[in-house]
Every structure is written in structure tokens, then in C-alpha cells.
Amino acid sequence: MATSVEKLKTEIQTPVAHSGSKVTIVGVGQVGMACAFSIMTQGIASELTLIDVMEDKLKGELMDMQHGLAFLGNIKMTAGSDYALSAGSKLCIVTAGARQREGESRLNLVQRNADILKGMIPKLVQHSPNTLLLIVSNPVDLMTYVAWKLSGLPKERVIGSGTNLDSSRFRFLLSERFNVAPNSTHGWIIGEHGDSSVPVWSGVNVAGVRLRDLNPAAGTDADTENWGEIHTQVVQSAYEIIRLKGYTSWAIGLSVSILTKAILKNSRNVFAVSTFVQGIHGVEQPVFLSVPCVVGENGITDVIQQTLTEGERSQLQKSAATLNEVQ
Amino acid sequence: MQTKASVDTVYGTKVTVVGVGQVGISIAFSIMTQGIASEMTLVDVMEDKLKGELMDLQHGLTFLDNMKITAGSDYALSAGSKLCIVTAGAQMREGESRLDLDQRNTNILKDIIPKLVQYSPDTILLIVSDPVDLLTYVAWKLSGLPKERVIGSGTNVDSSRFRFLLSERFDVAPTSIHGWIIGEHGDSSVPVWSGVDVAGVRLRDLNPAAGTSEDTENWNSIHRQVIQSAYEIIRLKGYPSWAMALSVSVLTRAILNNTRNVYAVSTFVKGIHGVQCPVFLSVPCVLGENGITDVIQQTLTEDERTQFQKSAETLNEVQSNLVF
């Protein structure tokens, strides 16, 4: 006798196994889950897979997210430790990685994280040969380089979340001083995602009116308005938020979801993301650092050539040299 | 830069969230990413956590439409809120009786509710803290607000879980499956099997025994899974957050935008389905800018009515032992 479900619907053709815009997120810690929820609530992907090693946590997070689907457009969600689940992904977001232990050297952390990626990246590419990789794990510029090397993918398809977040923090803090919306305040932070990031003060503007035209010393040591303090706050932000609430999650989640949207929808917006910068701004080493890039369905298609000051160029080159040393 | 006009404080669509635990902060992020409110205030007692969460949320604003976000322990920050969402509450201690826990939660609300109403006399209260039906009653008593403006998140999330699990069996989208769970948000919730349908085709017309103990297809296991969900999720990941956040943010949108959608939320049900006690339980309600405007009168089976009334009596018993 036919079941209720068989009585209800007559199949016309088999539904597709994997939809067009499938995203995999590796790592379901606070950052990974914030990325997942951010993607989900903004209807950015039609299929989402979560991968990690902790089976219970994965199952619990999956259930919790699925239980909210009646309030959103439908998304197919799966979760597990088997990378086969990730097959057919247009984009794989890697958030997994070790956190710095007390007294641990940066170099040691890098080695530990490189080993973690060794277990991950080849499997992701194996199951989704046409995927893009978006690396979030820190230190992100180094990890993006490592991921690129391990993946065998062309460099345009391996992207680091880089200073997209730093730029967002920069714009928010600038917006507080200007008292206009953050997305009406324009400013870019490039280079290393971390302590030696480079704020491009010459480009900071509202409605095309440059800060440097209003205050030629803005951002320099001679600046009486001390705009440079905003960059210091950006660099301190992550440490401060970790001190206050234990970890950062929401801003990085939003940063990653907007990059995801740009890739899946081929929107060709410009974002500061970590890409291969040998040959850019006088960098000679084969390293990844953030510069404004045009992002689309096939990854990075263009790099925006900013006019940097001598100081900004040498800072970038210095970061590149340090990274190369570690690599 | 030339200033054209000074910026006065304008109360557009402001929401306050009390309690920045996992549920509260997920609600905040859900509201934020869906552009539901133009202003949001977070209130709690833990100053550092508040500040950290505030910074983290603000740092993502360039990727969204702007909204004003503030946070602190001073309820004055909540002034001018159209809606106040209360997630704060105590967890059961080892060996603690249900009554003691309920009294502790009553005392917590005694501290919160009057302050919220003081700073936003025209606000609507949306209570999320568990046990939600009881605490919505407590909040109503403490607030002095008309009952239409004190709402409990109730079985909105149970209904969502129900629809998701049904959707897995039917293999259509959860939003194309219709089904309601009403009554108590908890172990004795009532699934209204007679109303379950896809495209107007009722499950009960395909299988008249669906949801009963004679049902060979065992549809009722879905309701049991719904009840077990919260416990299961807590066991697996430590706490529930995402589904609850989506449930509350969709209620928030309905209220702020006066959408007049229908949701299963906890409201004053004396006189409904034969209930005689002054309690709050979930039934499908029309939600708008002024709170609950209508209750949808479902046709319940005798069993469903009895279950509903029994929950009401149990609640009333507990309520009568509380000290306000």
C-alpha cells in the first residue's frame, strides 16, 4: 500500500544531488559557526556542509541550524567528519587551526597549523577539484600560502580572508569619528593581517572627499588630530575582544560571508583579501598579502593598483620579507 | 565636512535584548544580519562580555546596512525600545526543586521587567527565558502592561522543528510544510495533527490515523523528536542557539514591520479551548506593531483540548505558589 508521502506527490524527475552554490566550512568552532549562521541568514548559499573532527558537536550544530529553516529560504545542510560530504563545493572555507599556546613561538604555531592543513586541503580538492579555497585560519597570510602549495590549485583560486576584516574595523572606527554610516566611510588596510598591517591613509574618504585633503598630516606622526590612533585600535581589536568575550566571531563571520556572496554570485566587488603579491608594490618574494582584489566566481580576477607612499611600500616589502623567512 | 542639521534621538525601530548568553547574542546577530532593526541595545550584568560582544558586532557593520548598537548594564540605554527581548534566566542547580528555580527566575524578572517598562512605557515584551509560559505570565504581572503586549516565544521554535522534521519525510522545503505545535513549550506540547498539510493536502486525508497510536507510519515519532530536540542539542553541542535565534528574529520582524503574520506564541489563554485558569500558553496568533491582535481558533480534537487544559492547570498550580 502506498505511503502517505507517495500518495502526496508524484515524482516527475529526480532532484539534483548537489545544488549550484554549495559551500563547505571546515571547522565548527566559534568562527566557523559564525560564518555558517551568517551565510544561512543572508541566504547566500543553497547548500552548506560542515566538516570537523568532533562528531557530537557537528551533529548538534547541524540540528540546531536545521531547526530554524522554517523561518528562512530552504538550504540543504549536512555535517560530518567525512570529506566526501564536501563533494561538489564551489567554495571551501577553512577555519580550522590551532591557537597560539602561552609562550609558543609564532614559528611553532605555523608549523602546527601547516600540519593540520596537510590533512585537510588535499581532501577538499580531491572531492571538489573545481573549488575555490578561502582560508581564515591564522596567521592567515602564511596559511593561505601553505594551502596554495598543498592544493595544487592556481593561485587565483586560493584566497585568504586577510585584511577584509581589518578594513571593516577601520571603517567602523572612522565612521564613529565622522558620524556617518560605516559603509559610507571608505578606507583600506592592506598587507599583513596582524600587527604590521598598512592603513592607506591617502585613500580614506567620505563621498570622495579625502581626509588627507582636509588634514594633510592625517595618519602621520605629525597629525594633531591623531587619526593614527584608529589604526592602533584596529590592530588591538582582536586582542581586546578576546580579552573581553573570549574569542572573536561575528565580524569575521560577516567578513567571510560577504566574500562568499561575491564568489557565488560573481558580483566582482573589490575586497582586501590575501593573494599572491610577488611583483606587486615591489615585493620580490613568493608570499600572500592583502591588497584590494576583484573577487568573482573564478576567484581573484584583478588586483587594484593603489598609489602607495614610500613608507607604505616599504612596510609591505618588510612584511613580505618576514613572511618569506618563515615560509 | 559641513553639518546640515543636528541629529536628534529618533526612535525608529529599536530593539533591546536583555541577556547576552548564547541565546541572547545569537538573537542579536540574527536580527543584525537580516536587517530587522535600525537600533539594538544589549543589556546584561557582565560588563566585559557586553563590551566584547558589542565591539565584535560593530566591526562587521560595513558588510551590512548601518545600525546603531549600544551595550551596557544600565537600563537607561534601553529607552525608547519598540520591543524588549528577555533571555536572562537562571539554570537549575543540582538538587534544586522546580519551585525554587521558578522563584529564582521570578526574582530575576522582578529586577528586569519594571526597569524595561520604566524606560520604554510603550514597549512590547518578548519573553524567551525558560520555562517560557510561566515566565511570560510573571513578566506580564510585573510589567503592568496589557496582556496583548507581553508575548512568550512559546512553541514557535517547536513548530519550526516540527516542520523541519516533517520536511525530511516529505522531501519538500520546510517552508512548504504546514504544521502547528501549541500549548506548553516543553514536554507536554500539543501537535495539531489535523492541520498538517502540504499545498492544502492534509496528512490526515492521506492517512487518517496519522499521529495517533494506531498509526502504522508512526508520524508521532516526529513529535517525540521535537520534544527531545532541545535536550539532544544540549547534549551534543552544549546549548541551543541558532533555531531559537531565528524564531525570535522572525517574531521581531513581524512586530517591528507590523506584518500581521501568524505564529505560535505564548499568550493569555483563559477562555480559549476551554481553559479556565489565568495562564499563558501558545496558540497561533496574529502579530503586529501593537502586539497580539488576534488568536486563530483551531478546531482541536477532544484529546488535544484535554491536553491543553491539563497544561493550563499545571501551570496555574505553579503560579499560585510564586511570591511576587
Q: What angle do CA A236, A215, A168 make, to 5 degrees?
A: 35
Provide the pLDDT for residue B2.
52
The interaxial angle of helices B98-119 and B302-320, nearest 10 deg, is: 80
Phi, psi of A123 (to 5 degrees): -65, -40
Cα–Cα distance for residue pair B207/B222, rounded to 1 Å: 15
Q: Give the A window 208-237 contacts with B, CB below 8 Å.
A: 209, 214, 237
Domains of chain B: 14-152 (3.40.50.720), 155-321 (3.90.110.10)
Provide the pLDDT for residue A43.
93
Query: What is the pTM assigned to this prediction?
Result: 0.90
The minimum CA-CA distance between B69 and chain A, rounded to whole Å, is 12
Provide the pLDDT for residue B8.
45
Provide the pLDDT for residue B9.
47
Local confidence band at A123 (pLDDT 50, 70, 90 cut-offs): very high
Q: Do B59 and A249 touch (CB under 8 A)?
A: no
DSSP line for B8-76 = ----SSEEEEE--SHHHHHHHHHHHHTT--SEEEEE-S-HHHHHHHHHHHHTTGGGS---EEEEES-GG
Is pLDDT of A254 > 90?
Answer: yes
Q: Residue B217: which of A3, A185, A244 has the nearest Cβ?
A: A3
* ipTM score: 0.88
To the query of whether residue B223 is one of the catalytic residues in this protein, the response is no
The CATH superfamily assigned to A22-160 is NAD(P)-binding Rossmann-like Domain (3.40.50.720)
Was A68 annotated as part of a binding site?
Answer: no
Residues of chain B contacting A245 with CB distance shorter than 8 Å = 48-49, 51-53, 56
Residues of chain A contacting B55 with CB distance shorter than 8 Å = 237, 240-241, 244
Name the amino acid, one letter, at B121: P
Residues of chain A contacting B185 with CB distance shorter than 8 Å = none
**Cα torsion for B239, B243, B247, B250, to the nearest 10°?**
130
Q: Do A251 and B233 touch (CB under 8 A)?
A: no
Q: Do residues B113 and B141 touch, judged by C-beta distance below 8 A?
A: no
Provide the pLDDT for residue A16.
84
Q: Do A243 and B57 touch (CB under 8 A)?
A: no
Whether the CB of B58 is below 8 Å from some CB of chain A: the reply is: yes
Task: Name residues whose C-beta falls within 8 Å of residue B200's C-beta, 6 or more positions apart in sequence.
Answer: none
Residues of chain A contacting B200 with CB distance shorter than 8 Å = none
Whether the CB of A281 is below 8 Å from some CB of chain B: the reply is: no
| Per-residue burial over B18-28, b = 16 or more CB atoms within 10 Å of its CB, e = otherwise | bbbbbbbbbbb
Q: Residue B164: which of A42, A70, A172 has the nearest Cβ?
A: A70
Kindly state the percentage of chain A with pLDDT values over 90.
Answer: 85
Element (H, E) at B259: none
Q: Residue A250: which of B57, B157, B203 has the nearest Cβ?
A: B57
| Per-residue burial over B132-154, b = 16 or more CB atoms within 10 Å of its CB, e = otherwise | bbbbbbbbbbbbebebbbbbbbb
Assigned C-alpha cell, B88: 536572562
Is pLDDT of A198 > 60?
Answer: yes
From the centroid of its chain, how far is CA B267?
11
pLDDT per residue rounded down to tens, chain B (324 residues): 555 554 444 457 999 999 999 999 999 999 999 999 999 999 999 999 999 999 999 999 999 988 999 999 999 999 999 999 999 988 777 778 878 889 999 999 999 999 999 999 999 999 999 999 999 999 999 999 999 999 999 999 999 999 999 999 999 999 999 999 999 998 899 999 999 999 989 999 999 999 999 999 999 999 999 999 989 999 999 999 999 999 999 999 999 999 999 999 999 999 999 999 999 999 999 999 999 999 999 999 999 999 999 999 999 999 999 988
Strand blocks (E) in B194-279: 197-198, 201-202, 262-268
Whether the CB of B232 is below 8 Å from some CB of chain A: the reply is: yes
CA atoms within 13 A on the CB side of B274: 13
Residues of chain A contacting B51 with CB distance shorter than 8 Å = 244-245
Residues of chain A contacting B222 with CB distance shorter than 8 Å = none
From the centroid of its chain, how far is CA B312?
18
Given the residues A127, A193, A231, A281, select the one marked as catalytic. A193
A-chain residue closest to B25, CA distance:
A250
The minimum CA-CA distance between B220 and chain A, rounded to whole Å, is 14
Whether the CB of A319 is below 8 Å from some CB of chain B: the reply is: no
Is pLDDT of A164 > 50?
Answer: yes
Assigned C-alpha cell, B250: 522572525
Assigned C-alpha cell, B24: 541572547
What are the sequence ranges of the domains in chain A?
A: 22-160, 163-326
Given the residues B59, B178, B185, B223, select the one marked as catalytic. B185
The minimum CA-CA distance between B136 and chain A, rounded to whole Å, is 22
Task: Name residues whose C-beta falls within 8 Å of residue B247's C-beta, 6 or more positions apart in sequence.
Answer: A68, A71, B153, B156, B157, B160
Cα–Cα distance for residue pair A24/A83, rounded to 1 Å: 10
Tell me: the pLDDT tens digits for A255-310? 999 999 999 999 999 999 999 999 999 999 999 999 999 999 999 999 999 999 99
Element (H, E) at B142: helix B132-143
Q: Do B233 and A63 touch (CB under 8 A)?
A: yes
Q: Could you tell me which CATH number the domain at A163-326 has?
A: 3.90.110.10
Q: Give the B window 107-166 contacts with A, CB below 8 Å.
A: 157, 159-161, 163-164
Tell me: the pLDDT tens digits for A44-78? 999 999 999 999 999 999 999 999 999 998 899 99
Question: CA quadruple B23, B29, B33, B39: dihedral positive or negative?
Answer: positive
Q: Residue B160: which of A68, A172, A249 has the nearest Cβ?
A: A68
Q: Residue B175: which of A64, A74, A171 has the nearest Cβ?
A: A74
Local confidence band at A13 (pLDDT 50, 70, 90 cut-offs): confident
A-chain residue closest to B164, CA distance:
A67
Provide the pLDDT for residue A37.
97
